Chain A
Amino acid sequence: MALRFFRQQPGLIVSGVGHAAVLVAGLVAFSTATPFADQQEAIAVDVISESDLRELTRGTPTEKQVAENPRPVVDKQSEKVEEQPKPGEAPRDVPAPPSRPQTAETEQPETPKPPPPPPPPPPQQVTPPKPQPAPTAETAEKQAEEKPEPARTEPAPQPPKRPEIADKPPERQPEPRKPEPKPEPKREDLAKLIENTKPQERPAPARSQEPDRKFSPNDIRKLLESKDKPQNAAATGQEVNRTASLGTRTGNAARLSPADADILGGIVREQLAQCWSPPPGANPAVKPIVRMSLNPDGSLRATPTLANASGEAAFRSVADSALRAVRRCAPFRIPERFQPFYADWQEWNVILDPSEFLG
Chain B
Amino acid sequence: MDPAEVTQGALQAVNEVSLWGLFWQAHFVVKLVMLGLLGASIWSWAIIVDKTLLFMRTKRQMDRFEEVFWSGQSLEDLYRSLANRPVSGMGALFVAAMREWKRSFEGSGRAVASLAQRIDKVLDVSIQREVERLESKLLVLATIGSASPFIGLFGTVWGIMTSFRSIAASKNTSLAVVAPGIAEALFATAIGLFAAIPAVIAYNRLQAEAAKAQGRLEGFADEFSAILSRQIDERAAA
Contact = CB atoms under 8 A, between A and B. Distances in A.
Interface of A: 9-16, 18-19, 23, 26-27, 30-33, 35
Contacts of B22: 30
B126 to A, nearest CB: 22
Contacts of B46: 9, 11-16
Given A9-B50, A15-B44, A18-B45, 9 more contacts: A10-B49, A11-B48, A12-B46, A12-B50, A14-B45, A16-B46, A23-B19, A30-B17, A33-B14
Task: Specify which of A12, A13, A23 lies most central, judged by the most chain B CB atoms within 10 Å of its CB.
Answer: A12
Contact of B38 (A9, A14, A18, A19): A19
A18 B49 CA distance: 11
Contacts of B49: 10-11, 14-15
A31 B18 contact: yes
B53 interface: yes
A80 B17 CA distance: 68
Interface string B33-54: 0000010011111111111010
Interface residues of B, number: 19
B38 A33 contact: no
A137 B230 CA distance: 159
8 contacts: A10-B50, A10-B53, A11-B45, A12-B46, A14-B49, A15-B43, A30-B22, A33-B14
B70 interface: no
A3 to B, nearest CB: 15
A23 B22 CA distance: 13
Contacts of B38: 19
Contacts of B17: 30, 32-33
Contacts of A30: 17-19, 22
A15 B199 CA distance: 13
A26 B43 contact: no
Nearest to A27: B19
